[in-house]
Amino acid sequence: MRLISINSLQPGMKLAKKIYNDEGLILLSENAELTKGLIRRLKELGLNQVYIADRLTDDIVIPEMISEETRRRAMQEIRTNFRKVTEPALRGRVYPYLGKTFLKVVESILSDLSSREDVMIMMMNINSTDHYLYRHSLNVCVYTLLLGKVHGYSNDALSVLGLGALLHDIGKTKIPPSVLLKPDRLTDHEFDLIKQHTEIGFQMLKDEPGVPLVAAHCALQHHERLNGSGYPRGIQGSEIHEYARWLAIADSYDAMTTHRIYRSALLPHQATEILYAGCDTLYEKSKLEIFRDSVAIYPIGITVGLSTGERGVVVRINPDIPQRPVIRVFMGPEGEELKAPYEVNLAVKLSVVITYVEGTEPEIAHV
């Protein structure tokens, strides 16, 4: 299978992976043949990229960070419980089983991550039209837990870190949908309103049975930055809890690599470069280094251009050097399709580098 931009889809192409709607139900199944109408509908739903079946790449298997079943159950719990805390009867108090419910979700994610060898941060914003808040909460939890595992936290510490990550944006459930889901850039007043979600989330979680106080501080501090430029309190360095410093990276990365109506998603290598621009000013260097070594910046299935003038598809990630994957070259330097595609391992062929990724270069996102 191959990953292509939604703008490159053509009638007659077939999907290689299911596409889910915002209720977790299958919208289109594998092998569904795309029509002009279906392509238009996928664009309307906000999908940025999809996996298609391709004769040159039909043997490529895209690894998943967590299983389809774990993802489905997690999204169901997030949708159900985030909606419950917005119900009129519950305003002013929090649904009383948040900790117990979401701890089970964290344990399922940890189980999946532990069962996979050389698991890396892969793109999770593909083939789903979930509500941004729900999807973002799950993605940040998965990314943060993987980083925590690589760092070497104990299982008990990972459970608390994962719970803080899963609930870090729960305060947004109290922000008016007209602002939270606004399809245009926010005004200064609206952005100030959005920023209140950190303190709202802390107030929702700090006295909640089953939710450690540290997890509440993750909600409060995940937008704080090392140099004091963050919010809500403008604290610096070690004043920011270590878990919140991990969350700052995962939260920013997912925000940048998610397609929004008012801006396109960045590709992983672009988002990583932006994160590194804030090294030791916004984000902690040692944590960024772990992130850099844990993220597949060129996702499997994506088409890239090489310094040789050739084009190919990423077929494997080298865990020790994820920045230099294995490429299946299918097009020569003159744009001719090769009769016999071949693979080049960039971890070995050091004279060859990736010069671009297929598709329109997206604009820079503001986090």
Q: What is the pLDDT of residue 366?
A: 36
Question: Does residue 128 carry a pLDDT above 70?
Answer: no
Mean pLDDT for the stretch of residues 344-348: 96
Domain assignment present for residue 108? The answer is: yes
My answer on whether 221 and 78 are in the same domain is: yes
pLDDT at residue 151 tops 60: yes
How confident is the model over 77-101, as pLDDT tens digits?
999 999 888 876 555 555 567 888 9
What CATH number did the domain enclosing 22 receive?
A: 3.90.105.10
- Burial of 236: CB neighbours in 10 Å, binned 0-12, 13-18, 19+: middle
- Given a cut of 90, is residue 158 above it in pLDDT? yes
273 and 337, same domain (yes or no):
no
Say yes or no: 142 and 186 in one domain: yes
Each residue of 298-322: b (16+ CB within 10 Å) or e?
bbbbbbbebebebbbbbbbbbeeeb
DSSP SS3 for 157? helix
The secondary structure of 88-114 as a DSSP string is: GGGTTS--TTHHHHHHHHHHHHHHHHH
pLDDT at residue 1 is higher than 80: yes
Decide if pLDDT at 143 tops 60: yes
Determine the average pLDDT of the residues in 33-56: 86
Q: Quote the pLDDT of residue 199.
A: 97
Give the DSSP letter of residue 264: P
Which two three-digit tokens encode residue 114? 């532990």
Using one digit for the tens of pLDDT, what is the confidence trace for 280-335? 999 999 999 999 999 988 989 989 999 999 999 999 999 888 889 999 999 999 98
Do both 144 and 273 map to the same domain? yes
**Cβ atoms of residues 52 and 8 within 8 Å:** no
Same domain, 334 and 260: no
This prediction has a pTM of 0.86
Q: How confident is the model at residue 359 (pLDDT cuts 50, 70, 90)?
A: low
pLDDT tens digits, 175-234: 998 898 887 888 999 999 999 999 999 999 998 888 999 999 999 999 999 999 999 999
Structural domain range at position 18:
2-52
Q: For 242-266, write each residue's pLDDT tens digit.
A: 999 999 999 999 999 886 656 677 8
Does some domain include residue 41?
yes
Q: Are 333 and 310 in contact (CB under 8 A)?
A: yes
Residue 365 lies in a domain: no
224 with 75, same domain?
yes
